[in-house]
Amino acid sequence: MALTFRHFAPLIALASVTVATTPVFAALPIGASAPPVITQAVIAGKPFEFRLQDALKKGPVVLYFFPAAFTSGCTIEAHDFSDATAQFAAAGATVIGLAHDPIDKLGKFSVTECRNKFAVGVASTAIIDAYRVKMPLFSMSDRTSFVIAPDGKIILAYSALSPNGHVTRTLDAVRAWRKAHPAR
The beta-strand segments (E) located in the chain are 38-43, 46-51, 61-65, 94-99, 119-122, 144-148, 154-159
Q: What are phi and psi of 146, to 5 degrees?
A: -115, 145
Provide the 3-class DSSP secondary structure of residue 95: strand
Q: What are phi and psi of 39, to 5 degrees?
A: -155, 165
| Residue tagged active-site, from 28, 61, 74, 167 | 74
What are the distances in angstroms from CA 16 to CA 3, 6, 20, 135, 159? Answer: 20, 15, 6, 18, 20
114 is catalytic: no
Indicate which residues carry an active-site annotation.
74
